[in-house]
Amino acid sequence: MKIGMIGCGNMGGALARAIAENLGTEDALLLADFLPEKAGALAKELSAEVADNPTIAMFCDYIFLAVKPQMMADMLADIAPVLAERTADKKPFVLVSMAAGLSMEKITTMAQGNYPVIRIMPNTPAQVCEGMILYTVNELVRPDCVKTFIEMMTFAGKLDFLPEHLMDAGSAVSGCGPAFVCLFLEALADGGVACGLPRDKALKYAAQTLKGTAELVMKTGQHPGALKDAVCSPAGTTIAGVQALEESAFRAAAMKAVVAAYKRTMELGK
Ligand SMILES: NC(=O)c1ccc[n+]([C@@H]2O[C@H](COP(=O)([O-])OP(=O)(O)OC[C@H]3O[C@@H](n4cnc5c(N)ncnc54)[C@H](OP(=O)(O)O)[C@@H]3O)[C@@H](O)[C@H]2O)c1
């Protein structure tokens, strides 16, 4: 099997690393980027091959489209003749798009053919095998191709199927979420520094606390509200902190961040 990555930036690079972990001896990973040096450096790290976009379009079974949404139309227009030629020769392939806000219908329109498309919404923790990858497929993707795709992505993190009409909402939570979480993490650490902790210790304590609490929610299945209650003793220290967060409308701010990201995704997808 041949897997191609067009675009080796933040997300393309992260997914290429995850895919490289799971390549069989018969498989090949081909990398392309505007800047061949960028693809070259990644290829060296992953023992992958550098290629150009038409080569990936011609030979890869899974063609990952990892360019910014605003670059997608031009990039697909360039490879559209190759995809058409390949289809005429009855050589199947699957397009895998990760572009925020672009529907599978838009991708096939840009690619100028009614092709199998898997639309995914990954996030940056995929770099450390802890990504949340939402995916949806159009009717042309065969079930065995979905199975192979899921196996291919094992090292990127957790995968979850979502119907396409919910992808933008999902993206606003898990695609944009790392930025929101990092703001909170940084603020927690800043608070520690304000109380006299050295920066490195404050950051370590904040990061491990976020990670551990998330694990607790996922492993116990308990509601976050119940876990919050469990650490708030009457007239204690934690409830004093919770009150300060509530007075600053912390939860409303977090909800607004997700809704704002969702609305912006809708605007960009028009
Ligand atoms: N970053 C995230 O957290 C995140 C999360 C979920 C989904 N995504 C999606 O992932 C996709 C990539 O985002 P990103 O953050 O990885 O962007 P990025 O860091 O800018 O990477 C895109 C790469 O593609 C290259 N490129 C642009 N046009 C190309 C072309 N025609 N042929 C080959 N390479 C080309 C760019 O080169 P230049 O830099 O020279 O233009 C850049 O190296 C986007 O669709 C985004 O919506 C990103």
List pLDDT tens digits, range 59-111: 999 999 999 999 999 999 999 999 999 988 888 999 999 999 899 999 999 99
Our answer on whether the CB atom of 122 is closer than 6 Å to any ligand 1 atom is yes
Ligand 1 centroid to Cα of residue 5, in Å, is: 11
Q: What is the pLDDT of residue 251?
A: 97
The helix (run of H) or strand (run of E) holding residue 73 is helix 69-88
Residue 223 amino acid letter? H
Q: What is the pLDDT of residue 22?
A: 86
Name 175's Cβ contacts closer than 8 Å, sequence gap at least 6. 100, 121, 122, 123, 134
Euclidean distance between CA atoms 209 and 135, whole angstroms: 29
Q: What is the pLDDT of residue 268?
A: 81
Ligand 1 centroid to Cα of residue 19, in Å, is: 17
Strand-pair category, 94-97 with 62-65: parallel
- As given in the structure block, the two tokens for residue 131 are 């990504």
Our answer on whether the CB atom of 34 is closer than 6 Å to any ligand 1 atom is yes
Our answer on whether the CB atom of 46 is closer than 6 Å to any ligand 1 atom is no
Q: Are 126 and 14 in contact (CB under 8 A)?
A: yes
Q: What is the pLDDT of residue 24?
A: 85
pTM: 0.93
Our answer on whether the CB atom of 192 is closer than 6 Å to any ligand 1 atom is no
Our answer on whether the CB atom of 68 is closer than 6 Å to any ligand 1 atom is yes
For a mutational test of ligand 1's pocket, the pick from 10, 120, 182, i.e. the residue with the most ligand atoms closer than 8 A to its C-beta, is: 10
- Among protein residues, the one whose CA lies closest to atom 46 of ligand 1: 99
Euclidean distance between CA atoms 119 and 97, whole angstroms: 5
The Cβ-side half-sphere exposure at 117, using a 13 Å CA radius, reads 23
Euclidean distance between CA atoms 203 and 186, whole angstroms: 7
CA distances from 128 to 16, 118, 181 (A): 12, 23, 16
Euclidean distance between CA atoms 213 and 55, whole angstroms: 45
Q: What are 94's strand-pairing partners?
A: 62
Residues of the chain with pLDDT under 70: none
Q: What is the pLDDT of residue 270?
A: 72
Ligand 1 centroid to Cα of residue 186, in Å, is: 26
Our answer on whether the CB atom of 69 is closer than 6 Å to any ligand 1 atom is yes
Our answer on whether the CB atom of 33 is closer than 6 Å to any ligand 1 atom is yes
For a mutational test of ligand 1's pocket, the pick from 5, 6, 8, 11, i.e. the residue with the most ligand atoms closer than 8 A to its C-beta, is: 11
